[in-house]
Amino acid sequence: MFAYPSGDIHMGHCKNYVIGDVIARYKRKMGFEVLHPFGWDAFGLPAENRAIEVGIHPREWTMKNIQVSDESLKMLGISYDWDREIITCLPSYYKWTQWMFLLMFKRGLAYKKEAYVNWCPGCQTVLANEQVVDGHCYRSNCKSPIERRKLNQWFFRITEYAERLLKDLERLDGWPERVKQMQRNWIGKSEGTSIIFPIKNSDIKIEVFTTRADTIFGVTFISIAPENPVLEDLIKDTPYRDMVKNYVLEASRKSVVERMEKEKDGVFTGAYAINPVMVEKFQYMWRIMSLLNMEVVW
C-alpha cells in the first residue's frame, strides 16, 4: 500500500508496514523469492492545497516529505527493495499511467462529460463527498459553504464491464454472500423500461427509467432532480419560477450524502406530465362511448 506523503510517517504507517515486513522476512527465511517494494501515492489535492497555503511549489513540498519519510522508514529497518521505490508524481512513473489512459481513450473507455462536483469557493478546489460537513468545507481554516458546480470531467466507461463483473462474481468460491451482494449493488445493473411522459401544453418530454413498468397506472406525479437540464424550460412561464429557483440554489449547497440521507422533499414546478398509458385508456373508452352514441343516434 503506497503511502501519501503529507509529512513524516506516523504510527499508523509503522503499524501497517511493520506487519508487512514481518511477513516478507518470514517468507524469505522459508526460501521464497520475495518482492517487497515501496512507493508514494504522491499526486493530489492535499499537495495542491498545502502549496496554496504556504506559497511553495507542490513538487517541493511533496519531495521534501518523501525524503523525510524515506529516512524514517529506513531507520525502522523495514526490508524494502529501495531500488524499486516509485513516486507517482515523477514522469518515470506517470508516463505509464498516461500510456494506459491513452489505450482506454482510443478504445472509447475514457470520455469527457459535464457532471456536478462539490466546489469550495474558499479553497478553489473540488471536494470529495466525505469532505463536505453540513454543507461546508471540512477544513477548519476555511468552512466556506459548498456549491454544487457543473464541470467538464473525465469518466471511465466501467458500465461496459457490468455484465462480466456480475457473471464473474459467481466464480468467487468461499466469499460471503453479503460481500458479493455489496458488489452487485455497487455494479448497480438493473433491467427495466424507459417510459416517456409528455408535458402538457409544451414540446417537453421526460424519459423515466423504471424496473416496475407495471406500476405505471398508479403514477400520480413525477419528480426530477434540481440539476435536470429540462427544468429551466419547464418553469419558464410559470408563477412558480422563483420558488423553484430558490429550491435549486438550496439543493446546490447540500452534499450528495446529505441529499441522500434526508427526508425527500421538493417544490411544484407548475407543469403537468401526461401519463401516456392512461391517455390511451381514456381514448379507448372515448371511442367505445362514441360508438355507443352512434348506435343510439342510429
Cα separation values, 128 from 1, 156, 225, 257, Å = 21, 18, 20, 11
Q: Sign of the C-alpha dihedral, residues 287, 289, 295, 298?
A: negative
142 binds Zn ion (CB under 5 A): yes
Nearer to Zn ion among residue 138 and residue 240 (C-beta): 138
Cα separation values, 184 from 159, 165, 181, Å = 13, 9, 5
CB of 122 to Zn ion, least distance (A): 4
CB of 154 to Zn ion, least distance (A): 23
Binding piece for Zn ion, criterion CB under 5 A, among 16-24, 120-128, 165-173, 212-220 = 120-128
Of the chain, the end-to-end C-alpha distance in Å amounts to: 87
109 binds Zn ion (CB under 5 A): no
Q: Sign of the C-alpha dihedral, residues 161, 164, 166, 168?
A: negative
120 binds Zn ion (CB under 5 A): yes
Distance CA 62, CA 6 (A): 7
Judged by CB under 5 A, the residue of 122, 135, 270, 276 near Zn ion is: 122
276 binds Zn ion (CB under 5 A): no
Phi-psi region of 254 (alpha: psi -120 to 50; beta: other; left: phi over 0): beta
CB of 271 to Zn ion, least distance (A): 37
Binding piece for Zn ion, criterion CB under 5 A, among 76-84, 98-106, 122-130, 166-174 = 122-130
State residue 147 phi and psi, 5-degree precision: -105, 150
Site for Zn ion in 144-183 (CB under 5 A): 144
The DSSP letter of residue 224 is -
Nearer to Zn ion among residue 52 and residue 158 (C-beta): 52
Site for Zn ion in 188-207 (CB under 5 A): none
137 binds Zn ion (CB under 5 A): yes
CB of 283 to Zn ion, least distance (A): 56
CB of 262 to Zn ion, least distance (A): 23
What residues have CB less than 8 Å from 97, skipping those under 6 apart?
88
**Per-residue cell: 66:** 518523501
CB of 233 to Zn ion, least distance (A): 34
Binding site for Zn ion (CB under 5 A): 120, 122-123, 137, 139, 142, 144
